Structure 1
Amino acid sequence: MTTQTAHQTSRLLFGAMGLGGTWTDEPYGETDIDQAETAITAALEAGITVFDHADIYRRGKSEAVFGEVMRRNPGLLNGVTVQTKCGIVLPADDRGGYYDLRAESVLAALEGSLRRLQVDAVNVLLLHRPDPLLDPRTLKPALHSLLQEGKIRALGVSNMSAAQMDYLQTELDIPIAVNQLEMSLFKRDWVESTVLVNHPGGVEKNFPHGTIEWCLSNGTRLQAWGALAQGLYSQPREAHTSAEAQATDLVRQLALERNTSSEAIVLAWLLKHPARIEAVIGSTNPERIRASADAPRQAELMTSGEWYALWTAARGAPLP
């Protein structure tokens, strides 16, 4: 087992959902471990030091192959931090999927993750989705126990609103270190909602107003999953709308002018925001991972005019 180092922050994270083979019960093999090692090595070469997992990714196989890479290469991951998520139960047989944040389920899920990852602790345990049946008062002792035992160093959430975090924060009496949300140049409701107050267009935006501000006010770090928008603006493909085509052209133009990659420009748009968003890189393609490395520097170089130009192009309409 590997002991995690003290928490480190990174503007880029490696999202491990693509590791471990298929989403079936078929076991992983040496080829899957090799592919994971290649992707992890590329991430380290890109300066990425935080690895994001969930117990459900590839039905646990993502964590398992990550652990195998650690076992193969003692010391390879020295200085990195690992986080994982729990609370989603995948469909099985005739039963549909559901959310489960009961204390006993969270404890069991974390033990499984630690075993598969081959670590003694994770830096952050994130509650993956809101569970309407969650009673925070019954979860509180379990989380305090995990913190006291050193099995987790911080608590985080994913896909939660300001109101949900405020309620959890009050009932759990544990700081929420991280909120992981889908945010990208394509998934823009998080920023659209800030300028569509008192505007008819705001009704169409499905993002709880005040969530970003709550995180900023409470010292909760924001992590963006889906940050590369599945390559929509950075990989060669046919655009489905004129807005996608226009944004893709502008991304490429800026990348050419700055002698960088399209991936770096797409991510830089997120990273420039004053909330200091951390972008999760979900690709397992070594070239795309390395192409993302320049994003923090490009965020510093990007002007306000360029940032707004990208936003306007992607939304396909002028700002109100």
Structure 2
Amino acid sequence: MKTQEIGQSGMIASRVALGVMRMDALDNAEATRTVAAATQAGINYFDTADIYGFNAHKLHASSERFGQAWKLAGLDRSEIFIQTKFGIDNDYDAEGHGTAYGYDFSTKHLLDSLDAELEALQTDYVDTVLLHRIDTLFELDEVAEAFDKLESSGKVRHFGVSNMGPWQIELLQSGLKQKLEINQLQFGLMHTQMLDAEIHFNVADDPAADRTGEILPYSRLKHMTIQPWCPFQSDTEYGPFVGNPHFPEINAELDRLAAKYDSTPNGIAMAWILRHPAGFQPLVGSMNPDRIRQIAAGADVDLERRDWWSLYKAAGNRLI
């Protein structure tokens, strides 16, 4: 597994990370096998969030399962990176019915949430915490106070955001001592809006007003690592696109290139993301050990330029 620096943090981590959102659906043995498979494939970076527990109908449930799994897998805490997210105000009642109240970047909410995550994860610090989407009601001094307390206490080492645009990031950064190192954004072969906005700039169908149009060059200029989420999901109700008969053109090209590079369609789909010089660190959401291994192996595939473009086109995108 190739590695890279995350933002300008000094963290040298695997180019592929494992997202554990669905881990609350596994039992301890299954979760441990999943974590072990990921680490054996070279993955040492794990992402979660305080709200992940959709199967168990409980906040912090996926983090709790991961916290048990990394211990049972015998991992050395100093050799893995754990990342969580906070700032969404969700909760469940006694019957397990969830309610999304909104967003909350208040100092108290962020501090309380992080403490609960540390307990669930069975660790006294996380390597990174991200603000989970944007709270339009946020007070900059409250976010700054929370970040300062989390950093000075040693509970958080690095900070970032998710699903935010350049001006939201600039506003936050203006009041923070800590550099925002990461932005999580949806991206993959079937979610190419960031690329489309660049390729179609100043032409008849110019999508310059597209909300994602500036985030890719901005992230590269600011040395922020983009972490693509759901990189294998289609943009329809059909779910993952790899091996899905609803997407024959992209799968035919994935099969062709898998044979050419002695890889798998999953590996090629991952290699396509990693070929971009922006230095993406994709989040794999699968809990299937075999699929995790196939995807992780894609980090060692170097696609030729024409093969990269052929996949872009096969996914339904057009060139000028």
Equivalent residues in 2 for 1:1-320 (5 A)?
A: 7-21=11-25, 32-58=27-53, 59-75=59-75, 78-90=78-90, 92=92, 95-203=99-207, 206-229=210-233, 232-235=240-243, 237-239=244-246, 244-298=247-301, 300=302, 302-316=303-317, 318-320=318-320
Q: RMSD in angstroms over aligned alpha carbons?
A: 2.0
Identify the residue that residue 28 of structure 1 maps to in structure 2. none
Do 1:233 and 1:262's aligned partners in 2 also have CA atoms closer than 8 Å? no
Query: For 1:185 and 1:98, how far apart are their aligned partners in 2?
Result: 30
With over 3 angstroms needed to count, the CA separation of the structure-2 counterparts of 1:204 and 1:284, relative to structure 1, is farther
Amino acid in the other structure paired with 1:274: P
Amino acid in the other structure paired with 1:307: W
Query: For 2:121 and 2:285, how far apart are their aligned partners in 1?
Result: 18
1:194 Cα offset (Å) = 0.8
1:206 Cα offset (Å) = 4.2
1:233 Cα offset (Å) = 3.7
Aligned-residue identity in percent: 28
With over 3 angstroms needed to count, the CA separation of the structure-2 counterparts of 1:319 and 1:189, relative to structure 1, is same
Do 2:16 and 2:43's aligned partners in 1 also have CA atoms closer than 8 Å? yes
Query: For 1:199 and 1:260, how far apart are their aligned partners in 2?
Result: 37
Q: After the TM superposition, list the runs of 4 or more consecutive aligned residues in structure 1 that deviate by more than 6 angstroms.
A: none
TM-score (norm 2): 0.87
Amino acid in the other structure paired with 1:85: K
Give a deviation string over 1:261-302, Cα, whole Å, max 9, x none.
11110011110111010111100011100111221221x2x1
Structure with the higher strand share, 1 or 2: 2
Identify the residue that residue 3 of structure 1 maps to in structure 2. none
With over 3 angstroms needed to count, the CA separation of the structure-2 counterparts of 1:71 and 1:44, relative to structure 1, is closer
Identify the residue that residue 3 of structure 2 maps to in structure 1. none
Give a deviation string over 1:164-202, Cα, whole Å, max 9, x none.
111111122320111111100001101111112223434
1:143 Cα offset (Å) = 0.5
Secondary structure, in 3 states, of the residue corresponding to 1:34?
A: helix
Query: For 2:33 and 2:73, how far apart are their aligned partners in 1?
Result: 12
Query: For 1:268 and 1:218, how far apart are their aligned partners in 2?
Result: 24
Identify the residue that residue 26 of structure 1 maps to in structure 2. none
Query: For 1:96 and 1:83, how far apart are their aligned partners in 2?
Result: 22
Query: For 1:101 and 1:213, how far apart are their aligned partners in 2?
Result: 27
1:94 Cα offset (Å) = 8.6
Query: For 1:194 and 1:314, how far apart are their aligned partners in 2?
Result: 17
1:7 Cα offset (Å) = 3.3
Do 2:187 and 2:228's aligned partners in 1 also have CA atoms closer than 8 Å? yes
Amino acid in the other structure paired with 2:35: I
With over 3 angstroms needed to count, the CA separation of the structure-2 counterparts of 1:310 and 1:70, relative to structure 1, is closer
Give a deviation string over 1:106-154, Cα, whole Å, max 9, x none.
1011000000000010011000111100111222122111111111111
Do 1:121 and 1:152's aligned partners in 2 also have CA atoms closer than 8 Å? yes
Amino acid in the other structure paired with 1:89: D
In structure 1, stretches of 5+ residues that fail to align are 1-5, 22-30
Do 1:234 and 1:252's aligned partners in 2 also have CA atoms closer than 8 Å? no
Do 1:127 and 1:158's aligned partners in 2 also have CA atoms closer than 8 Å? yes
